[in-house]
């Protein structure tokens, strides 16, 4: 593999293949860019081919050459097919960021089985479906990073989000159990729990509502996608090799525990 130098000439990193699920979006795109800037080959996946083509063109205009694989992450067989294609066309995946996620909010009294299954499938089942395809290869090669994107609401819960909070909380148990199984094989497994981040979706909220949210954050502002991406890049690096089975909260003090 090709050796690349970071900004710090004393630190050498090895170019690896990284898969970021849910890479088309505020936090996902920032993660893709940051890992690419670190010298890795980055691929992502999406269920919508038209959206993927538009995103690839936009990224190319910004100087990034990303490949998107069309896949429904709730479908195990599609995930297996995608994994085989990535391995054949790009190479074995050593860095996996499970970032795919959706919301279908409703108070529990009105929460439908359809929306429960959809959120659990996309946010939690996908972590199994995708990680299953790559984890064994990481252990065989003796190096790997699995980074699961959870949420502050998976730690503290949130009104109207029993489905989302349950799925994001489930990631913590998955992370801690798998981390113990693969630690001696050179593979780390960690969870990141962002708070309120200034993505397009959050910035589209009415200003008065957004200001109410910000007033609950001790540091007095929203986080940025780039701050989340920096943390992902650190955990994905050789410098993060002593961190495993951990959940790192990055929420501006919104939830302290």
Sign of CA dihedral 71, 136, 231, 215: positive
The two structure tokens encoding residue 164 = 């989302």
Distance CA(225)–CA(212), nearest Å, equals: 20
Total residue count of the chain as it appears in this document: 257
Distance CA(227)–CA(156), nearest Å, equals: 21
Q: Say which of 64, 69, 164, 234 is annotated catalytic.
A: 164
Distance CA(79)–CA(84), nearest Å, equals: 9
Report DSSP letters for the chain, one per residue.
Answer: --EEE-SSTT-EEE--EEEEET-SSHHHHHHHHHHHHTT-EEEEEES-HHHHHHHHHHHHHTT---EEEE--TT-HHHHHHHHHHHHHHT--EEEEEE---------GGG--HHHHHHHHIIIIIHHHHHHHHHHHHHHHHT-EEEEEE--THHHH--TT-HHHHHHHHHHHHHHHHHHHHHGGGTEEEEEEEE-SB--HHHHTS-HHHHHHHHHTSTTSS-B-HHHHHHHHHHHHSGGGTT--S-EEEESTTSS--
164 is catalytic: yes
Looking at the annotation, which residues are catalytic? 164
């Amino acid at each position: 593999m090709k050796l690349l130098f970071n900004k710090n000439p004393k630190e050498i990193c090895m170019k690896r293949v990284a898969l970021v699920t849910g890479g088309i979006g505020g936090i996902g795109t920032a993660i893709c860019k940051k890992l690419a800037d670190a010298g890795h080959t980055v691929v992502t996946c999406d269920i919508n081919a038209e959206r993927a083509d538009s995103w690839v063109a936009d990224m190319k205009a910004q100087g990034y050459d990303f490949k998107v694989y069309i896949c429904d992450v709730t479908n195990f067989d599609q995930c297996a097919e995608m994994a085989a294609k990535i391995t054949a066309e790009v190479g074995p995946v050593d860095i996996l960021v499970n970032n795919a996620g959706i919301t279908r909010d409703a108070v529990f009294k009105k929460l439908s089985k359809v929306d429960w299954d959809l959120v659990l499938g996309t946010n939690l089942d996908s972590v199994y479906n995708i990680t299953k395809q790559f984890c064994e290869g990481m252990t065989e090669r003796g190096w790997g990073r699995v980074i699961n994107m959870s949420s502050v609401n998976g730690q503290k819960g949130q009104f109207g989000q029993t489905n989302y909070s349950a799925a994001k909380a489930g990631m913590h148990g998955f992370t801690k159990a798998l981390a113990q199984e693969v630690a001696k094989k050179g593979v780390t497994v960690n969870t990141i729990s962002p708070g309120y981040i200034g993505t397009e979706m959050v910035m589209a909220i009415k200003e008065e509502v957004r200001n109410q949210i910000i007033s609950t954050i001790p540091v007095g502002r929203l986080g940025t996608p780039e701050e989340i991406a920096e943390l992902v890049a650190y955990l994905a690096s050789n410098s993060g090799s002593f961190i495993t089975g951990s959940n790192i909260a990055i929420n501006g003090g919104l939830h302290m525990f």
